Amino acid sequence: IKRIGVLTGGGDCPGLNAVLRAVVKTAIVKYGYEVIGFKDGFKGLVDNKFVKLELDDVSGLLDRGGTILGTSNKHNPFKFPVNVDGNTEYKDMSKRVLENLDMFGIDCMVFIGGDGTLTTARDLMKMGIKGIGVPKTIDNDLSGTDTTFGFMTAVYTATEAIDKLHSTAESHHRVMILEVMGRYAGWIALEAGISGGADVILIPEIPYDINKVAQKVMERKNRGKSFSIIVVAEGAKDVEGDMVVNKVVEDSPDPIRLGGVGNKIAAEIERITGIESRVTVLGHLQRGGTPVPYDRILSTRYGVHAVELINQGKFGMMVSLKGNRITEVPIEEAVGTLKTVDPDGELVKIAKSLGVGFGD
């Protein structure tokens, strides 16, 4: 191995730069490899937009949010958007990727991304590209690893929001609803809800009955607590399976619509309880900014391990955290099936022991 390539794909996430820093430093300092960074995810791999990454390029990156390489969730090489007479058509450009890597003498790739990016990476590997995956997503919904980097930062941001909502909720005797991200999974809502002391946590894995949510709010009122905090995951749905839809999530093999459920809950809670309710949609604040120390360390461990696997010639793997140990799993095992919250799992039970309502 002489030259390795790296790209960041899908939605951005705190810790991407920390992974890049660890990959570049380990590759250059420990093994003497050259590192080429492709710009804007798979787009750069198809369009040949890249930059040689030197030690200076990754200096000071540990605490910087986003990705210096840029990212995109709309440029899958197997369905690549091309402009034909002013119209967008989708073409299979995967062979171009192979040609480009060959042309620039790139021996292997590090793909940093979530389920969409790693699924594409897996398909490119089936065509002969040597690659390693690094699990990224604030949603923490990738199988094959206990934790993805970026998740803890999102939980931290959401927890801070809950803390702030507490004081204003209490002053105004209101129900405050915080809608958080997470797509199909309730991890951010669950963990931020527990760490912020939410009264109700609504997640996609446990369909909620709005009357039970209202009952919880009323129980608190009857105990003299004139305010309540509800944390709701954007993918939460009620027992009728009614999911509010107002946002298309595109970098998924099966694009779905999510978000806006907080407004629906606020209106219903106010109608049923008569208590004034307000909504905060945390949105992309959860994805921006500096990674918390946990994510800086996890990103660094992942980046270093990715290069170690390259050195060992162990391709087709995704780096992974199992317990407190960094290891690797075949990328095949990591993609396709999302890791969602177990409704009977320990964290849900703990929250229920404290009296947190899930609307079930």
Q: How far is the CB of 259 from ligand F6P (least distance, A)?
A: 7
Cα separation, 236 vs 246, in Å, equals 13
Q: Is 316 in the site for ligand F6P (CB under 6 A)?
A: no
The annotation status of 166 as a binding-site residue, yes or no, is no
Interface residue with ligand F6P, options 69, 258, 321, 341 (CB under 6 A): 258
**DSSP per position, 271-336:** HHH---EEEEE-GGGGTSSPPPHHHHHHHHHHHHHHHHHHHHT--SEEEEEETTEEEEEEHHHHSS
Q: Which amino acid is at 190?
A: L
The annotation status of 173 as a binding-site residue, yes or no, is no
Q: How far is the CB of 56 from ligand F6P (least distance, A)?
A: 30
User: DSSP label at 31?
Assistant: I
Q: Which two tokens stand for residue 159?
A: 């927890």
Q: Give the position of tokens 């809502």.
A: 189
The annotation status of 11 as a binding-site residue, yes or no, is yes
CB 257 within 8 A of CB 248: yes
Q: Is 35 in the site for ligand F6P (CB under 6 A)?
A: no
Q: Is 287 in the site for ligand F6P (CB under 6 A)?
A: yes
**Residue 146 annotated as catalytic:** no
Helices (H), 77-229: 94-103, 115-126, 151-172, 187-196, 210-222
The annotation status of 96 as a binding-site residue, yes or no, is no
Region 180-219 residues binding ligand F6P, contact defined as CB under 6 A? 181-183
Closer CB to ligand F6P, 114 or 204, in the complex: 114
Q: Which residue is nearest to ligand F6P (CB)?
A: 181
Closer CB to ligand F6P, 117 or 273, in the complex: 117
The annotation status of 260 as a binding-site residue, yes or no, is no
Cα separation, 171 vs 163, in Å, equals 13
**Count of CB atoms within 10 A of residue 181's CB?**
27
**Among 12, 40, 139, 251, which one carries the catalytic annotation?**
139
Q: Which two tokens stand for residue 340?
A: 């969602």
Cα separation, 256 vs 259, in Å, equals 10
Cα separation, 152 vs 14, in Å, equals 9
C-alpha atoms less than 13 angstroms from C-alpha of 94 in its C-beta half-sphere? 14
Q: Give the position of tokens 């590997």.
A: 125
Q: How far is the CB of 11 from ligand F6P (least distance, A)?
A: 4
Q: Is 152 in the site for ligand F6P (CB under 6 A)?
A: no
Nearest partner of 149 among 278, 270, 23, judged by Cα? 23
Selected range binding ligand F6P among 17-25, 162-170, 176-184, 190-198, rule: CB under 6 A: 176-184
Q: How far is the CB of 184 from ligand F6P (least distance, A)?
A: 9
Number of residues that bind ligand F6P (CB under 6 A): 12
Interface residue with ligand F6P, options 4, 5, 6, 11 (CB under 6 A): 11
Q: Is 137 in the site for ligand F6P (CB under 6 A)?
A: yes
Active site residues: 139
Q: By CB under 6 A, name the binding residues for ligand F6P.
A: 11, 114, 137-139, 181-183, 234, 249, 258, 287
Show binding-site residues for ATP: 11, 74-75, 114-117
Query: Residues annotated as binding site?
Result: 11, 74-75, 114-117, 137-139, 174, 181-183, 234, 278, 284-287
